[in-house]
Amino acid sequence: MQLRAPARMAATAVLALSVTAGLAVTTAPTARAAQMPCKPRVYYKINTSGVNFRTGPSTSYASKGLLYKGDWGKKIATKGSWIKLRLGQKSRTGLAKNTTGWVAKKYAYDCVPLQLD
């Protein structure tokens, strides 16, 4: 069956729109993780992978799970070389947002605001 030129153009346009609409749905941005606020000595980000998130400030305390590079939280306490964090988002390993625990300070860093002169 041969389509006339206007009908062929209409069919091509419909096909192009359906393909474009389908691509728009599949390439739409997904929900992004919450960005860490930048307040020095308040918010800390984990700087390495596989860090124990502990119930207390030493290696003798049990681990609640692991934190990975990019996980972050708000500092709520410090003790020696340990920092207690409240997670700002669900961790990569599934620890819930607002879970509290301790990490060694050497595995976390706070943000440094950019100062423009």
Q: What is the pLDDT of residues 67-98, one digit of tens each?
A: 999 999 999 999 999 999 999 999 999 999 99
Q: What is the pLDDT of residues 14-33, one digit of tens each?
A: 444 444 444 443 333 344 45
Q: What is the pLDDT of residue 25?
A: 38
Q: What is the pLDDT of residue 16?
A: 47
Which residues have CB under 8 Å from 69's CB, separation 6+?
Answer: 46, 47, 48, 49
pLDDT at residue 34 is higher than 90: no
| Listed residue (96, 102, 113) closest to 36, CA to CA | 113
CB 73 within 8 A of CB 86: yes
Sequence letter at residue 71: D
Residue 12 CB-density burial (10 A; 0-12 exposed, 13-18 middle, 19+ buried) = exposed
Say which range, 5-9, 35-39, 49-53, 101-105, has the weakest mean pLDDT. 5-9
CATH level 3 topology of 43-110: SH3 type barrels. (2.30.30)
CA pair distance 86, 53, nearest whole angstrom: 11
Q: Identify the bridge partners of residue 42 per DSSP, sorted by sequence position.
A: none
Neighbours of 42 (CB within 10 A): 12
